Amino acid sequence: MHNRDNTGRHTAAPQEPRTENAVNHIDELADVQDPVWEWLAADLNCSLTRSTVVQPDPGTCRTALRQLRITAESRLGAIVLNTGGILLHDRWVRVYGGSGGGPDGIPGITEVNRISQPADPARRPEAGLVVAHDVLGGAFVLNGPEPWSSGRPGRPGDVIYFCPSTLTWQTTEMDHDHWLDWLVNGGAAGQYREVLWPTWRSDTAGLSPRQGMVVHPAPWSAEFKEGYTLPVRRPAPLQVILDEHVASCVRLGLPHPGALGTVRM
């Protein structure tokens, strides 16, 4: 069943702990009595933020749900089971679903997190689960049970963000449900205000979901922040951008960010 939170939105009621056998039973995970997808889909349709839901492959989505061992009673599970992914904020943010959009489309969440098939009960994404990327290679990650052991901020279950403008992790201080509400209701517009450019919508529309935008000078550099040089932007594979973020941290002597997700072309 679902309750309404103080915003009027439906939230999943607390669930009883599940045994390992129950959690791995796909019918129990997928065929819930009161799935939240219909409420989430209505939120997307009513949002002022333009979004595109990638059509799912049902079999692959159910497999992904089992691999992650989550239930469709949660919003994360609802996205995994019912979408190939969601492109939000005029395709600036890519939220990963269960099946992805094929080799040339948005990758699926298990691909991004390198979760193998068949599901390994002992396999959990190190430090947390990558749930979304943005065009600049920023990564949204759902914290694991001990984020501090991986040098990550925030509480277990918080969504944190690797910021290309600082090359550091930042906590959103939101769990996945509230982060998703924030994103659907236009929160990204404020977050990205300083890095957007006049033609960003048309430039982003021309990208593959496996591409991002390389910016030179880099958003973390003094040249970019002080406006010494007019930035040059060009499309590039998102994996190249993520790898460069890690390499920049190493060069600058910053803490290693750990896994930022895998998005192969």
**pTM recorded for the entire structure:** 0.86
CB 213 within 8 A of CB 199: no
Tell me the pLDDT tens digit for each residue of 5-50.
444 444 443 333 333 444 445 555 555 555 688 889 998 988 878 8
CB 258 within 8 A of CB 153: no
| Bond prior to 107 in cis (omega within 30° of 0) | no
**Cα(198)–Cα(119) distance, rounded to whole angstroms?**
44
Helix (H) or strand (E) holding 253: none
Tell me the pLDDT tens digit for each residue of 169-207.
999 999 999 999 999 998 888 889 889 999 999 999 999
* Mean pLDDT, range 242-257, rounded to an integer: 97
* Mean pLDDT, range 227-256, rounded to an integer: 95
